[in-house]
């Protein structure tokens, strides 16, 4: 019974040793057979990664250039809106002043002028009559005073010509008030657009900063990948050497195990 158990254990040891030797042999053959293939595969994969990073960097450069162009355009738009807002702000008081002048001051001045003309018209009538009487005296060395348009009539015509002006000025005042209201609305809209442009400008600056950070990260990663790519043959050789030593040690260990198994089988 003990002999059978000993022989069975011996066969197990021999089988395990044989499998270990086969594994060690396959490992040694596989390491040096696939070493160069592994180097090429890693080189291709890292080369592909470097190519992708190059394409990414080029895309980021194009995006950065587009952002800079857009940022310049937005800056120009912001400056234009600033000028427009200032122009509207400066124009509104002028329109208020013009509206006050056209609606109040000029009509009052015209009415006062017409009142003065009416008073002058009465005086002119007296002067005209006096001149007619004086020039009608015989033996005076003057021609009779007989103008085509008497002075009082001329003054009356001037006063009549001013009748429609107050209404015209008041109509212009209404137009200016509408323009003022429209400009106030435009100013409000311009202020809103100005705020939106400022937000866009801030977003563009943030996007430009992010693109710069991505470019730096891509450049750093590319540099590290290229450095690792140059070290691939050396790293694979070192790894293959370490694995070779391991499989040699494994084979040596299996020889001892095989010897013990044969001894157990042959021992009586």
Q: What is the pLDDT of residue 148?
A: 66
Q: What is the pLDDT of residue 140?
A: 54
21 contacts 258 by C-beta, under 8 angstroms: yes
Number of independent structural domains in the chain: 1
Q: What is the pLDDT of residue 1?
A: 45
Residues of the chain with pLDDT under 50: 1
- The CATH number linked to 173 is 1.10.287.2610
Q: What is the pLDDT of residue 4?
A: 64
Closest C-alpha to 161, from 117, 226, 203, 199? 117
**Relative orientation angle of helices 165-266 and 2-100, to the nearest 10 degrees:** 170
Q: Which domain holds residue 121?
A: 2-266
């Amino acid at each position: 019974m003990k002999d059978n158990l000993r022989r069975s254990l011996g066969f197990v040891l021999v089988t395990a040793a044989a499998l270990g030797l086969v594994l060690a042999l396959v490992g040694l053959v596989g390491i040096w057979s696939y070493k160069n293939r592994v180097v090429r595969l890693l080189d291709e994969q890292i080369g592909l990664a470097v190519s992708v990073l190059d394409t990414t960097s080029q895309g980021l450069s194009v995006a950065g250039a587009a952002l800079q162009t857009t940022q310049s355009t937005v800056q120009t738009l912001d400056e234009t809106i600033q000028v427009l807002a200032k122009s509207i702000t400066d124009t509104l008081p002028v329109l208020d002043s013009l509206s006050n002048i056209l609606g109040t001051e000029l009509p009052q001045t015209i009415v006062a002028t017409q009142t003065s003309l009416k008073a002058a018209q009465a005086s002119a009538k007296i002067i005209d009559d006096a001149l007619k009487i004086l020039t009608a005296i015989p033996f005076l060395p003057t021609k009779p005073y007989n103008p085509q348009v008497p002075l009082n009539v001329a003054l009356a015509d001037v006063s009549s010509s001013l009748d429609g002006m107050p209404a015209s000025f008041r109509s212009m005042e209404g137009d200016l008030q509408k323009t003022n209201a429209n400009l106030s609305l435009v100013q409000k809209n311009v202020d809103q657009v100005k705020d939106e442009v400022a937000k866009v400008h801030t977003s563009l600056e943030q996007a430009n900063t992010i693109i710069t950070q991505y470019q730096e990260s891509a450049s750093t990663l590319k540099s590290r990948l290229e450095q690792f790519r140059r070290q691939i043959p050396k790293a694979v050789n070192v790894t293959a050497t370490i694995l070779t030593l391991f499989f040699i040690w494994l084979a040596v260990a299996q020889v001892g195990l095989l010897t013990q198994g044969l001894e157990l089988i042959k021992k009586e």
